[in-house]
Structure 1
Amino acid sequence: MKKDITHREDIEKMVQRFYEKVAADPLLGPIFEGPPSINWEKHLSAMCDFWQNALFYTGTYTGNPVNLHQHLHRLMPLNQQHFQQWNRLFIETVDELYSGKNALLAKQRALNISQIIQGNLFG
Structure 2
Amino acid sequence: MAILTDITTLEDIKLLVDSFYSKVQKDQFIGPIFNEKIGSRWPEHLEKMYRFWQTILFEVHSYSGSPFPPHKQLPVSKEHFERWMEIFIETTDSLFVGPLAEEAKIRAKNMAEMFNYKIEYFRNAEKN
Same topology, TM > 0.5: yes
For CA contacts below 8 A with separation 6 or more, give which structure has more relative contact order.
1
Q: CA deviation at 1:35?
A: 4.5
Asked if the contact 2:38/2:45 (under 8 Å) is kept, the reply is no
1:66 aligns to what? Answer: 68
1:48 aligns to what? Answer: 50
1:55-89 per-residue CA deviation (whole Å, 9 max, x = no partner) reads: 01111111211112114x2xxx1111110000000
The TM-score with structure 2 as length reference comes to: 0.88
Structure 1 ranges of 4+ moved more than 2 A: 35-38
1:87 aligns to what? Answer: 85
Does the residue aligned with 1:34 lie in a helix, a strand or coil? Answer: helix
The TM-score with structure 1 as length reference comes to: 0.91
Alignment of 1:89-108 (within 5 A): 89-108=87-106
2:33 counterpart letter in structure 1: I
Give unmatched runs, 5+ long, in structure 2. 122-128
Asked if the contact 1:23/1:29 (under 8 Å) is kept, the reply is yes
Work out which of the two has the higher radius of gyration on C-alpha atoms and give 1 or 2. Answer: 2
CA distance in structure 2 between the partners assigned to 1:35 and 1:84 by the alignment: 19
Select which of 1, 4, 11 maps to 1:2.
Answer: 4
2:21 aligns to what? Answer: 19
1:6 counterpart letter in structure 2: T
Select which of 30, 33, 40 maps to 1:28.
Answer: 30
CA distance in structure 1 between the partners assigned to 2:111 and 2:40 by the alignment: 21
2:125 aligns to what? Answer: none
Matched residues, number = 119
Does the residue aligned with 1:65 lie in a helix, a strand or coil? Answer: coil
Give unmatched runs, 5+ long, in structure 1. none
